């Protein structure tokens, strides 16, 4: 691997810490060096195709957490597909057209209207757009690559490329030829700033709470001028375009006289409060109505239909209009929930207004076209003729106050007040939208609606609820899709029409364009045509097929960019031009796509509509819908508010793997929201990746220790046979758990349930690090013999190696890091005959196929026993915490109470010793005598039962509280019980009852905790004596020695002498006495402390502290080993100072040292009288001095 400063990939893995972000950078360079992504693709040649579509993002902005989340999901699934034997092509795509790009250019060039663009020239304008389209592509590639995502940027597709645009033309022409395209009018959300209509999906992206002017306006009846209909509206600017009033034929209406001004109004009976605000006052009391209004008559809305009224303004008041407009019509959309029950109709500015007015022939767009629609608003949202006076040229959203002033002067303003409501804003310009009728080209979605619904049933979604509810409901109510936009930078709609729109020619490819089109001067299209944007095709004309000398011109509009993204399955392949039908069918429909919940009405919808219209098939088979990533405060992430951390800084601080795992191990992968907090990413690093690394590091340390101890000089290598034959219960358990995990991962990944897979993977890593490694530490260190250590090392190696492969799709960097180190220990004698993706030979873990589940040899008893052990240890720790007894301090006894003797049997034997060790107890007692040790009670789960039982819940609660212990213990085991409530037997299941277990033993000697279901209780003896305290002191001493070794960054092979000195010891439990009484613990830990007076070597590190329960001042020092005398020799030569000098310089290569001291000859035998270190002198020379008092 490439070198890197302080990189554990190139230096010792025994270092105590790993800089994950730096190591990921090393791995990125390694992947680049071996061209890992393309190599993986080439290695999968000939394997079944797995098709993935990547939804194209805009490159005009930097990637945010939503992109990172979706990219991580896509990368995880496609990596998994590759590692399960598929060829997975992954191309990045760019959405180059549309409003986002134009808006950036308009801002940069200071353009405020359509006319300014036309004056500049479409070609010039589009060249500016083209120049910024890929402004951030390098940044995108950097971030996406840094996240570890493997995707092809070199062979990317761009919606502005001729090949892509040509396929979009083919899609349109196919739909046109099928009769699915027509021209019509539609009231659409409209951005006056961007001068373009938006889709309903886009309009829903930016709602804000606003306060607008709301008015009630009078409309005097022609035949009764003193009686006025009253309408309420929050858009006074639409009143100049009023053509009708709409009521509900079935509602009750009243004609009332206002007591205050004697005027007579007609209003819905249920909406009098809107006309008379006093009715809403807190001071109003029943019976006060007579002081406010008088009801003259009441009638159904149907009686008002057809009645004529006086227009508000003269702008559209003509004899022609009066013959069909300014009258009352009826529709069910009018309700009594708001307003006056009478809705003013401006057909150019409301979807319902338009529909109702067309149906009632108030306007006739078929016969009279656009002239029939009163729309005095230009493309930039300003009033134009016939609106005159001060209103002309005024932006409509700023005209409300001026219109109210005019209404007041005319005596038509009945009421004016403020109204707070949610209102849509342009997602690009952040300015209020209006609703405006625009001529558009439509795809007739309503005619294929049933096919859409049926095709949706063929798809698989995670979560299914989005498919079955949100998306299904959207399809059931699907409206014809307006695919045109009155803009410039986009794929031009390839439709040439006559002036009267009676002749239309759709062009579906460049060849057809050359064949049918010519320049306006009659010359042919240049053969080097390389672009299809407006500046290249707007000037082209088509000769009329039926009228000589008549030419058809291209329509002005371009495609909605959603039409382009919905066409990407075909356009990215340049189908049907460069891609054959056979090749296309291999890649369509897609096996998998993934995007955010906001694409339900966006990309997911357009994919489905176009594929259904073309082939009557869904465009995809499987889909993961991710939820939204919100800021920590629960609000939408905002650059302006700066309420989220920069993704690049988070990756640089914690690593991409930590960020990936944080995101995909959250509810966001099943369509729910997540509040992003950086501490969560840090938590993944701390709680998952670091323990995983430490398990690997510990393995490496112990493998090195074994190699040093091994007299044959062999290196540790993989030994599958030893792993299979191991009968050790912990080995059997971890291998069975791994096999179960592999089976689970494959089952769940086949159904795309990342939200179940990732927690299970993380849980297994927890079992590996927190249970297997910890419970086997002494065994791995050789305490149970080197053969047992070798077996445990082989099992740990096998698990670590397989986990690197399993985790590769999820944490690609750290999996690679581990694999590159672990592969060195694989047997490599026959690698020449192995395939390039074989484990060990493969240059990257991402080339290797995932393991398959085997047949684990663990029986149910082992798995049940380990599950019980984990519960017991957790409960025991909680009990110790409650009693404030440190884990270093032993306890005399732990009592484990469970009503199932069979379950308790799972702990007997080998597992019992692990419980003793983990809970640091001298004895465990297993008992099923729950009646003696525990009491049990139950409470009703009222929130659940109240919904189900209603009034019976009180009786049920009493019955539950009266259950005897036998019934409750049976319920705890089975999760089911029949209870008599009010004379009837009712069934109750788990969750209906809250079972509580309480310890009923001697609380002065024990403290206990119970499982949530009350089925298991662990009681810890709290009585302490000197022997327990001495053992606690010894454990604490060993712990501090190991911490000093870690702090000094000593490796396991580094030998040191350990010295200590204490002052002010408590006689019976001093540190010296504690160490003397617990030599067995010291021997297991291979720690041999010596009195500080024997220190001869250089001190490496030291520490002083107060020993708990022992010395007030204890010093520990680690020193370089120096020759030391055995205790007997030290006593014999006491007082010979010269001997100390001799020991510091002597050569221990000989078996003995001899000479004379003060004319007295002496001889020191190596291994008997003298040793190379104080520790060996103590351990081998019987250096433990007998305690002055018995230990017991």
Q: What is the 8-class DSSP label of residue 425?
A: B
**What's the CA gap between 786 and 1008, in Å, rounded?**
39
Closest by CA position to 661, among listed 803, 802, 751, 761? 761
Q: How many residues does the chain have?
A: 1192
Contact 1117, 1096 (CB under 8 A): no
Output the six-digit token pair for 1087. Answer: 């720690």
Contact 184, 395 (CB under 8 A): no
**What's the CA gap between 575 and 359, in Å, rounded?**
42
Q: What is the 8-class DSSP label of residue 687?
A: I
178 is catalytic: no
Classified as helix, coil or strand, 630 is strand
CB atoms within 10 A of CB 290: 9
Catalytically annotated residue among 83, 255, 345, 599: 599
**What's the CA gap between 513 and 515, in Å, rounded?**
5
**870-888 b/e with 16+ CB inside 10 Å = b?**
ebbbebbbbbbeeeebebb
Contact 1112, 1106 (CB under 8 A): yes
Contacts of 255 (CB under 8 A, 6+ apart): 227, 264, 265, 266, 295, 296, 297, 298, 299
Catalytically annotated residue among 636, 675, 857, 888: 636
Backbone angles phi, psi at 247, to 5 degrees: -120, 175
Bridge partners, residue 1061, by sequence: 1115
692 is catalytic: no
State whether the Cα torsion 1033-1034-1038-1044 is positive or negative.
Answer: positive
Contact 170, 178 (CB under 8 A): no
Contacts of 792 (CB under 8 A, 6+ apart): 728, 730, 731, 776, 779, 780
**What's the CA gap between 792 and 807, in Å, rounded?**
22
Closest by CA position to 247, among listed 189, 285, 299? 299
603 is catalytic: yes
169 is catalytic: no
Contact 443, 613 (CB under 8 A): yes
639 is catalytic: yes
Contacts of 670 (CB under 8 A, 6+ apart): 462, 463, 627, 753, 755
Give the long-range contacts of residues 417-421, CB within 8 A, separation 24 or more. 417/213, 417/214, 417/215, 417/277, 418/211, 418/212, 418/213, 418/214, 419/211, 419/212, 419/213, 419/214, 419/234, 420/209, 420/210, 420/211, 421/209, 421/210, 421/212, 421/234
Catalytically annotated residue among 31, 232, 496, 562: 562
Contact 558, 491 (CB under 8 A): yes
Contact 474, 763 (CB under 8 A): no
Contacts of 822 (CB under 8 A, 6+ apart): 696, 797, 800, 801, 804
Catalytically annotated residue among 8, 56, 569, 812: 56
Cis peptide, bond prior to residue 463, ω within 30 of zero:
yes
Output the six-digit token pair for 703. Answer: 């493998």
Pairing of strands 252-258, 1160-1165: unpaired
Classified as helix, coil or strand, 461 is strand
Bridge partners, residue 327, by sequence: 244, 308
562 is catalytic: yes
State the angle between helix axes of 137-146 and 20-34 in degrees (0 to 180), rounded to the nearest 10.
110
771 is catalytic: no
Catalytically annotated residue among 297, 502, 639, 715: 639
Contact 412, 311 (CB under 8 A): no
Q: Catalytic residues, which ones?
A: 56, 95, 562, 599, 603, 636, 639
């Amino acid at each position: 691997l490439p070198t890197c400063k302080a990189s554990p990939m190139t230096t010792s893995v025994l270092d105590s810490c790993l800089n994950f972000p730096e190591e990921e950078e090393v791995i990125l360079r390694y992947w680049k060096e071996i061209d890992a992504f393309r190599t993986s693709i080439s290695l999968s040649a000939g394997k079944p195709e797995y098709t993935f579509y990547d939804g194209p993002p805009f490159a005009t902005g930097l990637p945010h957490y939503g992109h990172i989340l979706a990219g991580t999901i896509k990368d995880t699934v496609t990596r998994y597909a590759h590692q399960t034997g598929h060829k997975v092509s992954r191309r990045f795509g760019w959405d180059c057209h549309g409003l986002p790009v134009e808006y950036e250019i308009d801002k940069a060039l200071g353009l405020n209207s359509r006319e300014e663009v036309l004056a500049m020239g479409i070609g010039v304008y589009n060249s500016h757009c083209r120049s910024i389209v890929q402004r951030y592509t390098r940044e995108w590639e950097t971030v996406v690559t840094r996240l570890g995502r493997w995707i092809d940027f070199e062979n990317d597709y761009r919606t502005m490329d001729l090949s892509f645009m040509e396929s979009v033309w083919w899609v349109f022409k196919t739909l046109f030829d099928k009769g699915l395209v027509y021209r019509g009018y539609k009231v659409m959300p409209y951005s006056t700033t961007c001068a373009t209509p938006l889709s309903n999906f886009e309009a829903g992206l930016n709602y804000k709470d606003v306060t607008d002017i709301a008015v009630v306006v009078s409309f005097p009846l022609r035949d009764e001028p003193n009686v006025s209909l009253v309408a309420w509206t929050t858009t006074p600017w639409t009143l100049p375009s009023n053509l009708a009033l709409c009521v509900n034929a079935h509602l009750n209406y009243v004609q009332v006289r206002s007591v205050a001004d004697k005027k007579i109004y007609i209003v819905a009976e249920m909406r009098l409060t809107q006309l008379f605000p006093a009715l809403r006052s807190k001071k109003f009391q029943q019976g006060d109505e007579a002081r406010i209004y008088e009801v003259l008559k009441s009638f159904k809305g149907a009686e008002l239909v057809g009645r004529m009224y006086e227009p508000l303004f003269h702008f559209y008041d003509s004899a022609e209009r009066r013959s069909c407009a300014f009258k009352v019509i009826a529709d069910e959309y009018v309700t009594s929930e708001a307003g006056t029950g009478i809705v003013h109709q401006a057909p150019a500015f409301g979807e319902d207004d338009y529909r109702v007015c067309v149906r009632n022939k108030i306007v006739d767009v078929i016969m009279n076209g656009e002239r029939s629609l009163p729309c005095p608003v230009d493309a930039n949202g300003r009033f134009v003729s016939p609106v005159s006076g001060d209103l002309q040229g005024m932006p409509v959203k700023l005209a409300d106050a001026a219109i109210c002033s005019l209404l007041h002067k005319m005596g038509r303003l009945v009421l004016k007040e403020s109204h707070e409501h949610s209102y849509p804003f342009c997602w690009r310009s952040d300015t209020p939208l209006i609703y405006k009728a625009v001529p558009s080209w439509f795809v007739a979605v309503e005619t294929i609606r049933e096919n859409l619904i049926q095709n949706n049933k063929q798809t698989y979604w995670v979560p299914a609820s989005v498919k079955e509810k949100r998306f299904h409901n959207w399809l059931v109510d699907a409206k014809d899709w307006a695919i045109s936009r009155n803009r410039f930078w986009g794929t031009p709609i390839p439709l040439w029409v006559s002036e009267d729109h009676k002749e239309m020619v759709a062009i579906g490819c460049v060849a057809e364009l050359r064949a049918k089109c010519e320049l306006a001067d009659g010359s042919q299209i240049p053969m080097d045509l390389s672009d299809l944007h407006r500046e290249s095709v707007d000037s082209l004309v088509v000769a009329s097929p039926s009228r000589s000398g008549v030419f058809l011109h291209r329509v002005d509009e371009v495609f909605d960019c959603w039409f382009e993204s919905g066409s990407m399955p075909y356009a990215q392949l340049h189908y049907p031009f460069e891609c054959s039908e056979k090749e296309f069918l291999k890649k369509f429909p897609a096996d998998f796509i993934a995007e955010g919940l906001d694409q339900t009405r966006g990309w997911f919808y357009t994919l489905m509509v176009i594929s259904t219209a073309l082939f009557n098939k869904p465009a995809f088979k499987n889909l993961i819908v991710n939820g939204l990533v919100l800021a920590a405060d629960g609000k939408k992430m905002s650059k302006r508010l700066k309420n989220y951390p920069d993704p690049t800084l988070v990756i640089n601080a914690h690593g991409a793997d930590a960020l990936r795992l944080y995101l995909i191990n959250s509810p966001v992968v099943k369509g729910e929201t997540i509040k992003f907090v950086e501490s969560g990413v840090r938590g993944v690093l701390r709680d998952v990746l670091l323990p995983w690394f430490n398990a690997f590091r510990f393995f490496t340390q112990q493998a090195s220790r074994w190699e040093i101890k091994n007299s044959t000089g062999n290196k540790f290598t993989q030994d599958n046979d030893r792993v299979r034959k191991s009968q050790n219960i912990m080995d059997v358990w971890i291998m069975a758990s791994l096999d179960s995990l592999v089976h689970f991962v494959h089952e769940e990944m086949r159904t795309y349930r990342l939200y179940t897979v990732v927690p299970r993977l993380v849980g297994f890593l927890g079992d590996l690090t927190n249970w297997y490694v910890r419970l086997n530490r002494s065994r791995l260190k050789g305490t149970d013999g080197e053969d047992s250590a070798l077996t445990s090392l082989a099992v740990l190696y096998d698990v670590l190696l397989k986990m690197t492969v399993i985790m590769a799709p999820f944490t690609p960097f750290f999996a690679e890091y581990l694999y590159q180190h672990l592969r060195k220990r694989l047997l490599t004698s026959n690698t020449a005959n192995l395939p390039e993706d074989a484990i060990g030979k493969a240059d990257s873990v991402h080339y290797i196929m995932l393991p398959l589940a085997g047949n684990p040899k663990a029986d149910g008893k082992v798995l049940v026993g380990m599950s019980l052990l984990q519960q017991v240890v957790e409960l025991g720790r909680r009990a110790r915490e409650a009693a404030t007894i440190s884990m270093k301090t032993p306890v005399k006894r732990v009592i484990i109470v469970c009503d199932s003797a069979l379950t308790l049997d799972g702990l007997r034997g080998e597992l019992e010793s692990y419980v003793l060790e983990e809970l640091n107890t001298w004895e465990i007692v297993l008992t099923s005598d729950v009646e003696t040790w525990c009491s049990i009670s139950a409470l009703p789960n009222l929130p659940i039962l109240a919904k189900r039982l209603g009034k019976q819940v009180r009786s049920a609660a009493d019955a539950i509280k009266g259950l005897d212990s036998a019934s409750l213990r049976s319920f705890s085991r089975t999760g089911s019980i029949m209870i008599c409530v009010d004379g009837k037997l009712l069934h109750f299941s788990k969750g209906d009852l809250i079972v509580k277990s309480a310890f009923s033993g001697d609380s002065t000697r024990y403290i206990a905790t119970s499982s949530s279901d009350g089925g298991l209780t662990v009681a810890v003896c709290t009585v302490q004596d000197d022997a327990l305290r001495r053992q606690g002191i010894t454990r604490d001493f060993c712990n501090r020695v190991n911490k000093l070794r870690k702090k000094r960054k000593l490796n396991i092979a580094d030998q040191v002498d350990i010295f200590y000195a204490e002052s002010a010891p408590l006689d019976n439990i001093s540190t010296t006495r504690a160490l003397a009484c617990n030599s067995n613990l010291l021997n297991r830990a291979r720690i041999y402390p010596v009195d500080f007076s024997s220190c001869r070597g250089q001190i490496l590190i030291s520490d002083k502290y107060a020993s708990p329960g022992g010395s007030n001042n204890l010093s520990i020092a680690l020193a370089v080993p120096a020759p030391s005398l055995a205790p007997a020799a030290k006593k014999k030569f006491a007082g010979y100072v010269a001997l100390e000098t001799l020991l510091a310089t002597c050569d221990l290569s000989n078996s003995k040292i001899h000479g004379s001291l003060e004319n007295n000859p002496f001889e020191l035998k190596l291994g008997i009288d003298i040793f190379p270190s104080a520790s060996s002198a103590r351990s081998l020379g019987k250096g433990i001095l007998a305690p002055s008092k018995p230990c017991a």
